[in-house]
């Protein structure tokens, strides 16, 4: 049964457009571009120009200085190919902290486990169990340049242990280093009768770094270096309720064949900073990955604990690996609360 599951799992990865390729048609370690937080996932995978949270460093490190608390710690769980496997998932843990009024830092760990896979040369041979996995360790720093603009940078160590040593003797874990840079803009509050408002904008370049190779003489593969930009607007109806709408675009900036321009539209309704309702839609321009899906999400805060949930509905003919899976994230807030008006 485990062998059948493994074949189905790898087939699903291939057709979803997320599986690494041993050539330059697709960048390596595409898990780096999968949202690890349920909040962003509930808003159509928007994150470069949305409001700051504990997961900001993965999207745009410049947002860190607008963190809503002195410090936050978050964990997240995302099932992968939930229809055919129960041990494939993406796990994340992040910690973010304000250093002072104009700077902040963050550290994070992302782990992508592909479950147990049986390996054997013949059907009669005893099976060897392997557990392919990938991980990324992040460090990020954000600095406020003035009342409206901030900048940020990050460093990421990446390790991909996908190639089976049982099949290729010189196979090894592939390691790489990458950097992120970003800018974030928040306009002054526009006070007017009926509803106040504010504009937001973000720009980031992520996963720009070295190449990966899984064996000594293997093909050097590019990281999924991605350029993201976004524009958002807040409709502040009163002290209790705010509606935020964000439109973002992204594209790979490495010379690979499977390059697409993706668009994401997300919205979040915030009631008293205690209840959050979210909607989103994502659409890319290539038929190879064919990523088209709608998302819904919700969040709730009780004292210093916050829980976020999201769910995805595919609108394309290609199965999405996150269909029929509930993403969940928990965050814990420490210290003073900042409202960033």
Task: Give residue 3's pLDDT.
Answer: 37
- Paired with 313 in beta bridges are 294
| Amino acid 1: pLDDT | 39
Task: Tell me the per-residue pLDDT of 284-303, one tens digit each, with 9 for 90 and over.
Answer: 887 666 789 999 999 999 99
Choose among 45, 62, 53, 133: nearest CA to 103: 62
Picking from 302, 243, 337, the residue whose alpha carbon sits closest to that of residue 51 is 243
Work out the average pLDDT over 84-102. Answer: 91
Query: How many folded domains does the chain comprise?
Result: 1
Count of CB atoms situated within 10 Å of the CB of 167: 10
The residue-averaged pLDDT of 75-102 equals: 91
Question: Of all residues in the chain, what percent carry a pLDDT higher than 70?
Answer: 86
Distance CA(89)–CA(78), nearest Å, equals: 6
Q: Are 97 and 105 in contact (CB under 8 A)?
A: yes
Between β-strands 241-252 and 305-314, what pairing exists: parallel, antiparallel or unpaired?
Answer: unpaired
C-alpha distances out from residue 15 to 131, 204, 291, Å: 21, 28, 11
Give me the pLDDT at residue 11, please: 39
User: How many residues comprise the chain?
Assistant: 341
Q: Show the domain range for 256.
A: 2-337
Residues 186-219 have pLDDT tens digits of 999 998 877 899 999 999 999 999 998 877 666 7
| 3-class state of residue 156 by DSSP | strand
Confidence (pTM): 0.87
User: Which pLDDT band holds residue 15 (cuts at 50, 70, 90)?
Assistant: very low
Token pair 């780096």 is found at 32
* 104 touches 96 (CB < 8 A): yes
Indicate the average pLDDT of the chain. Answer: 87
Going from the C-alpha of 164 to that of each of 17, 118, 160, 269, 293, the distances in angstroms are 21, 11, 11, 46, 33
- Tell me the CB-side half-sphere exposure of residue 200, using CA atoms within 13 A: 27
CATH number at residue 35: 2.40.160.40
75: tokens are 């964990």
């Amino acid at each position: 049964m485990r062998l059948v599951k493994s074949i189905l799992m790898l087939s699903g990865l291939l057709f979803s457009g997320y599986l690494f390729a041993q050539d330059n048609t697709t960048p390596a370690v595409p898990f780096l571009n999968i949202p690890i937080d349920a909040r962003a996932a509930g808003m159509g995978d928007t994150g470069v120009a949305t409001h700051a949270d504990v997961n900001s460093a993965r999207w745009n490190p410049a947002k860190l200085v607008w963190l809503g608390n002195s410090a936050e710690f978050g964990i997240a769980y995302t099932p992968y190919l939930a229809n055919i496997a129960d041990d494939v998932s993406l796990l994340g843990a992040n910690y973010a902290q304000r250093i002072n009024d104009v700077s902040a830092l963050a550290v994070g760990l992302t782990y992508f486990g592909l479950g147990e896979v049986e390996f054997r040369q013949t059907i009669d041979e005893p099976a060897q169990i392997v557990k392919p996995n990938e991980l990324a360790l992040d460090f990020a720093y954000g600095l406020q340049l003035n009342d409206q603009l901030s900048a940020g940078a990050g460093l990421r160590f990446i390790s991909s242990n996908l190639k089976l040593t049982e099949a290729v003797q010189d196979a090894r874990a592939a390691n790489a280093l990458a950097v992120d840079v970003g800018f974030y803009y928040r306009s002054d509050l526009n006070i007017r009768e009926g509803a106040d408002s504010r504009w937001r904008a973000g720009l980031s370049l992520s996963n720009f770094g070295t190449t990966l190779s899984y064996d000594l003489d293997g093909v050097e593969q590019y990281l999924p270096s991605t350029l993201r930009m976004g524009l958002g607007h807040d409709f502040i109806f009163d002290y209790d309720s705010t509606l935020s709408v964000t439109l973002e675009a992204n594209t790979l900036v490495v010379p690979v064949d499977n390059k697409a321009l993706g668009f994401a539209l997300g919205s979040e309704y915030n009631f008293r900073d205690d209840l959050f309702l979210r909607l989103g839609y994502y659409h890319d321009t290539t038929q190879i990955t064919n990523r088209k899906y709608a998302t819904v999400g919700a969040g709730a805060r009780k004292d210093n604990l916050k829980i976020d949930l999201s769910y995805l509905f595919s609108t394309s003919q290609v199965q999405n690996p996150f269909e029929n899976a509930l993403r969940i994230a928990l965050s814990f807030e420490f210290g003073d609360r900042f409202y960033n008006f």
